[in-house]
Amino acid sequence: MSVVGFDVGFLNCYVAVARAGGIETVANEYSDRCTPACVSFGPRNRSIGAAAKSQVVTNCKNTVQGFKKFHGRAFSDPYVQSLKENMVYDIAQMPTGTTGIKVPCYYTDAERRSVVDAAQIAGLNCLRLMNETTAVALAYGIYKQDLPAPEEKARNVVFVDLGHSGYQTSVCAFNKGKLKVLATACDPLLGGKDFDEVLVKHFCEEFGKKYKLDVKSKPRALVRLYQECEKLKKLMSANSSDLPLNIECFMNDIDVTGKMNRAQFEEMCADIWARVEPPLQSLLEQAKLKKEDIYAVEIVGGASRIPAVKERISKFFGKELSTTLNADEAVARGCALQCAILSPAFKVREFSITDAVPYPISLKWHSAAEDGVSDCEVFPKNHAAPFSKVLTFYRKEPFSLEAYYSSPNELPYPDPTIGQFMIQKVVPQASGESSKVKVKVRVNIHGIFSVSSASLVEVQKSDEAEEPMETEQAADKDGEVVWTNGSSQSGTSTEENKGEKKSDQPPQAKKPKVKTKVLELPIENNPQWQLANDMLNLFVENEGKMIMQDKLEKERNDAKNNVEEYVYEMRDKLHGMLEKFVSESDRDVLSLKLEDTENWLYEDGEDQPKQVYIDKLAELKKLGQPIQDRYAESEERPKAFEELGKQIQQYMKFIEAYKMKDEQYDHLDEADVNKVDKLNNDAMIWMNSAMNQQSKQSLAVDPSVKVKDIKAKTRELFGACNPIVTKPKPKVELPKEETPAEQNGPVDGQEKPQEAAADKGTTEAAGNPASETTESKPDMDLD
């Protein structure tokens, strides 16, 4: 069973796997642990990762990257439209209205659902979508041995993750064996790409003035400039001196050059630096903490290496920053740890994780009594997650609930809707009164909101009366939210697990005996922007087809490469190591065939089915394989003759030793030894004859004796002679002598009666085998 954590970033991806020795970040086929988040579409197949990254310039129109921002967004979203204008590739609207293309803590419900759907399409069993800062906190805390005990004051640690496309922070409280996310704050539009944009804009203007080039009019040139500016940004993080930027044949065969230093760069990014501190201030305000309450500040993410960023974060908190985690791989490692905790295949140290809801979630519904709309906040911001609440409504007919984010200004896009949830098959009581409907809402382990269940409480009254007592009302006081006629009324008691608002009930002296029956109600879920099942199944099917197409194309390319490789290999060997093993006429025929095949590969054979390449390779091997076989025979033949010769020499020494009356072999039958002598002489005659015959033959013709024949002769000789040579001597049985048992006891004959009796019994048993068998049997009862 594979337990894997994925960190799918805007620019790069990291994959960590849990193994017996711990968590390991795995390398890709290029032995690199960093894989570009890039996909390139060719005429026949896809290229993914590093292979796709290499086509960003040459196939820019069909190579997509940075698609992380499109999860769960509408095609009409202003943010999507703004990105669309700056892309060298096109995006299109899908039938569902979404764009066709580890999660940040600021991901909304729609974005999280989109990632879960994408994992399902890719064939992954997603155990949990984990907020990036929470994954970092887990990777930080699970190995700490000095965390305070559960009953002690928690240790507060701030985590700052500045990646290529987003800036997110969180503050977590650590105790031994657990962590709790107290608050999160973010700027979804701030990241390393903003620094790249500043550099690209600067050099576009500089090259326009210096070389009269309109860089943005040429997609390939723009992509190359982005790549070089990213490299320059990384170099400036380690060097403060002037650094050059050189691009050969940039546009119109013109070489361009420029330079930049860290001081200039920081001056150009002044407005970006100002956006670093507000999320940190918001974080402390939400958590109701002071800067003095923070134990440490851990920074991760590629852009966190920029000196100006580290300086401002350190200055804000007034302490040195901690960099104990791998800035690039911490998220993937934390995800793999969480997966190992959830998986039954691994035994991991107990460590509980309490995450937080990033945005406040509210419900609204149609109020029949007030002829309007009522609403209520069910999950405030930074509420613990995963979590569930039970809401109570009084209804006579089906009704719907609309979930939405109640702080739209904090969202990364304008639509705050989460989804519509229809509670069906609601009917009034037999008396005509409203039925009590309990609705369970929850934020699950992925951070996705849902109405998980609904039930109707059917009241059945009997004629018997009983004293008033707490029955249904006691259940209401258990922290439920109660709505009568669709409007909420304030209650008196609240609990942390479930918020309560309870309506007043008139006092009754006596009431009929009540029996209740709970009926489960169907729910129609209509979340915002989630793929329908038929569309999801279609994408799963299409992904399977593309995987098969990629596999077939790889096999076709491998078959083509095998032909090309054979052509070049044989051409060199015919005038090298194989030269002595082929006649001049055969060499000319094969060389001509190789040349024709090479020309065919770059003309008509450029794009042929797999079987055509297989057949073409078979034609070449029909001519070339006998030559290679003759070479292999000449290399292996001396070794085979040497082995046979050693075997013959061994048996000759055996025969000589037998004739010299060696005691080791004096038990052998003379006829058997003569048989070995005859077989050995025959083998020696056969070997000498074969060697003489082969030495007279040319290397350019097939050998008179093959290696397999020599090895067969060696096995035949060994099989016939070895049983005789290694025949063991017969064993000689010596007569048994009775030995008196040794006396172990006190000297001078002073032994106890019990010990003497025991010694006597032992002696008799040793001298009488029958006695041994009878006396040693355990006591048993006879029927």
Neighbours of 699 (CB within 10 A): 14
227 domain-assigned: yes
Residue 703, preceding peptide bond in cis (omega within 30° of 0): no
> Of 619, 647, 672, which marks where a domain is finished?
619
Residues 514-526 pLDDT 10s: 678 889 999 998 8
The predicted model gives 485-499 an average pLDDT of 36
Round to whole Å and give the CA distance between 326 and 299: 9
Burial class (CB in 10 A: 0-12, 13-18, 19+), 635: exposed
- Residue 768 pLDDT greater than 80, yes or no: no
Burial class (CB in 10 A: 0-12, 13-18, 19+), 519: middle
The predicted model gives 11-27 an average pLDDT of 89
Domain containing residue 536: CATH number: 1.20.1270.10
> Of 585, 619, 653, which marks where a domain is finished?
619
Q: What's the pLDDT score for residue 512?
A: 61
| 761 alpha-carbon distance from chain centroid | 73
The predicted model gives 632-661 an average pLDDT of 93
203 and 150 within one domain = no
Q: What's the pLDDT score for residue 490?
A: 35
448 and 362 within one domain = yes
Among 452-456, 476-480, 574-578, name the one with the lowest average pLDDT. 476-480
Query: DSSP characters for 354-379?
Result: EEE-SS-EEEEEEETTTTEEEEEEEE
624 domain-assigned: no
Q: What's the pLDDT score for residue 481?
A: 52
The predicted model gives 533-561 an average pLDDT of 92
The predicted model gives 242-267 an average pLDDT of 93
* Pairing label, strands 387-395, 481-484: parallel
Give 347's pLDDT tier (boundaries 50, 70, 90).
confident
663 domain-assigned: yes
CA atoms within 13 Å, Cβ hemisphere of 225: 29
Query: Where would I find the beta strands (DSSP E) of 406-509?
Result: 417-423, 435-443, 449-466, 481-484, 487-488
Q: What's the pLDDT score for residue 102?
A: 66
Q: What's the pLDDT score for residue 652?
A: 93
Domain containing residue 430: CATH number: 2.60.34.10
143 and 7 within one domain = yes
Among 129-133, 472-476, 484-488, name the one with the lowest average pLDDT. 472-476
770 domain-assigned: no
Which tokens is 690 given?
Answer: 């074969």
Which among 263-272, 343-352, 737-746 has the top mean pLDDT?
Answer: 263-272
- Residue 458 pLDDT greater than 90, yes or no: no
Among 177-181, 303-307, 481-485, 693-697, name the one with the lowest average pLDDT. 481-485
Give 93's pLDDT tier (boundaries 50, 70, 90).
low
Q: pTM to 2 decimals? A: 0.75
Q: Say which residues have a Cβ less than 8 Å from residue 372's Cβ, sequence separation at least 6.
A: 366
Round to whole Å and give the CA distance between 654 and 662: 10
740 domain-assigned: no
How much is the mean pLDDT over the chain? Answer: 83
The predicted model gives 657-672 an average pLDDT of 88
588 and 552 within one domain = yes
Q: What's the pLDDT score for residue 778?
A: 42
- Residue 468 pLDDT greater than 70, yes or no: no
Q: Quote the domain boundaries for residue 691.
A: 629-724
Is the separation of the CB atoms in 603 and 548 below 8 Å?
no
1 and 115 within one domain = yes
322 and 265 within one domain = no
Q: What's the pLDDT score for residue 510?
A: 56
Q: What's the pLDDT score for residue 736?
A: 63
161 and 20 within one domain = yes
545 and 610 within one domain = yes
Domain containing residue 675: CATH number: 1.20.1270
Round to whole Å and give the CA distance between 191 and 275: 10
219 and 346 within one domain = no
Give 92's pLDDT tier (boundaries 50, 70, 90).
low
Q: What percent of the chain has pLDDT over 70?
A: 83
The alpha helices in 269-367, defined as continuous H runs, are 270-273, 277-287, 307-317, 330-342
- Residue 714 pLDDT greater than 90, yes or no: yes
Residues 189-241 pLDDT 10s: 899 999 999 999 999 999 999 999 999 899 899 999 999 999 999 999 999 89
The percent of the chain in helix, strand and coil, each rounded to the nearest 5, is 40, 25, 35
Domain containing residue 211: CATH number: 3.90.640.10
285 and 259 within one domain = no
295 and 168 within one domain = yes
The predicted model gives 445-464 an average pLDDT of 83
Neighbours of 468 (CB within 10 A): 11
- Residue 611 pLDDT greater than 70, yes or no: yes
Domain count, the chain: 5
Q: What's the pLDDT score for residue 464?
A: 53
Round to whole Å and give the CA distance between 260 and 229: 10
Q: What's the pLDDT score for residue 570?
A: 93
613 domain-assigned: yes
72 domain-assigned: no
690 and 645 within one domain = yes
- Residue 758 pLDDT greater than 70, yes or no: no
Among 248-257, 303-312, 406-415, 617-626, name the one with the lowest average pLDDT. 406-415
> Of 272, 299, 327, which marks where a domain is finished?
272
605 domain-assigned: yes
Round to whole Å and give the CA distance between 599 and 536: 47
